[in-house]
């Protein structure tokens, strides 16, 4: 009798395992969890991020451009391009209007060195396309809300980033998770953001774009005061393709 009961329980257990297989790296788990890997933005789209060539400046092409090439910021006012690490920042000094001041930190400029230049300096294409180990974990709750954790790994260290949400229905981007939608990476280029959203993110969001703010400034609910979809003061570096994983 005992052996018969054990055999029956073993058969039931085997059937349960066959009906409910477990995978170590599933994208859509039974617990309503989706894990999305971040990817470098393959198409730069805007001429605000370029490399210098013998004939001028052009957009880099992933897989074709030498990864040691230095990235330049192309100002919207037509002024001379500058390396991405040297984009100017406005300060309110003794006057009433913001001005661009010398930001270098050195022995002769100890009072005006207000921006840490950081490294790498300059920023190359190889530095830019890191971050592939970044992940977005979306847990859909029973009430239809989404509990989301974004783990950033390998972006530019000690740098200011904003996360912008593009919806499946179209329209302009919005600040992901509300304002503030920013993070500052640590010395290794890592950061973590956690948000609980009042909707099912898988049903609403097309993708999330992580933007580097090269002028070290943020503008509330708009990515840029110059170009809402990216421009000379911010640059989309990493994408989480939410819709594409469904």
Q: Do 203 and 160 touch, CB atoms closer than 8 A?
A: no
Report how far residue 152's alpha carbon sits from residue 187's, in angstroms, rounded to the nearest whole number: 12
Cis status, amide bond into 120, omega within 30 of 0? yes
- Cα Dmax for the chain: 93
So where are the chain's domains? 33-43+129-245
- Higher pLDDT pick, 176 / 119: 176
Q: Do 185 and 191 touch, CB atoms closer than 8 A?
A: yes
Q: Is the pLDDT of residue 47 over 90?
A: no
Q: Does domain 33-43+129-245 have CATH number 2.60.40.200?
A: yes
Reported confidence tier of residue 6, pLDDT bands at 50, 70, 90: very low
Reported confidence tier of residue 9, pLDDT bands at 50, 70, 90: very low
- pTM for this predicted structure: 0.78
Q: Do 33 and 13 touch, CB atoms closer than 8 A?
A: no
Q: Do 45 and 36 touch, CB atoms closer than 8 A?
A: no
Tell me which residue of 8, 12, 34 sits closest to 149, measured CA to CA.
34
Q: Do 30 and 20 touch, CB atoms closer than 8 A?
A: yes
Q: What is the pLDDT of residues 102-146, one digit of tens each?
A: 554 455 554 544 555 567 888 999 999 887 789 999 999 999 999
Report how far residue 84's alpha carbon sits from residue 75's, in angstroms, rounded to the nearest whole number: 11
Lookup: tokens for 168 = 């499946």
Q: What is the pLDDT of residues 188-237, one digit of tens each?
A: 999 999 999 999 999 999 999 999 988 888 878 877 766 655 556 788 89
């Amino acid at each position: 009798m005992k052996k018969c009961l054990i055999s029956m329980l073993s058969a039931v257990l085997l059937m349960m395992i066959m009906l409910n297989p477990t995978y170590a790296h599933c994208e859509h788990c039974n617990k309503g969890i989706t894990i999305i890997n971040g990817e470098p933005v393959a198409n730069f789209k805007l001429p605000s991020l370029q490399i210098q060539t013998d004939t001028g400046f052009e957009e880099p092409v992933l897989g074709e451009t030498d990864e040691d090439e230095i990235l330049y910021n192309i100002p919207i006012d037509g002024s001379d391009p500058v390396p991405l690490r040297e984009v100017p920042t406005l300060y309110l000094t003794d006057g009433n209007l913001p001005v661009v001041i010398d930001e270098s930190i050195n022995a002769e400029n100890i009072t005006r060195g207000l921006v840490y230049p950081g490294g790498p300096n300059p920023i190359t294409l190889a530095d830019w396309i890191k971050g592939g180990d970044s992940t977005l974990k979306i847990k859909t709750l029973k009430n239809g809300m989404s509990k989301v954790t974004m783990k950033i790994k390998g972006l530019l260290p000690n740098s200011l980033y904003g996360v912008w949400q593009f919806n499946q229905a179209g329209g302009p981007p919005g600040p992901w998770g509300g304002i503030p939608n920013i993070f500052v990476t640590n010395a290794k280029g890592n950061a973590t953001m956690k948000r609980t959203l009042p909707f099912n993110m898988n049903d609403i969001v097309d993708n999330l774009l992580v933007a580097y703010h090269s002028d070290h400034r943020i503008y509330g609910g708009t990515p840029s005061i110059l170009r809402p979809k990216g421009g000379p003061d911010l640059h989309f570096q990493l994408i989480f393709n939410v819709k594409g994983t469904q």
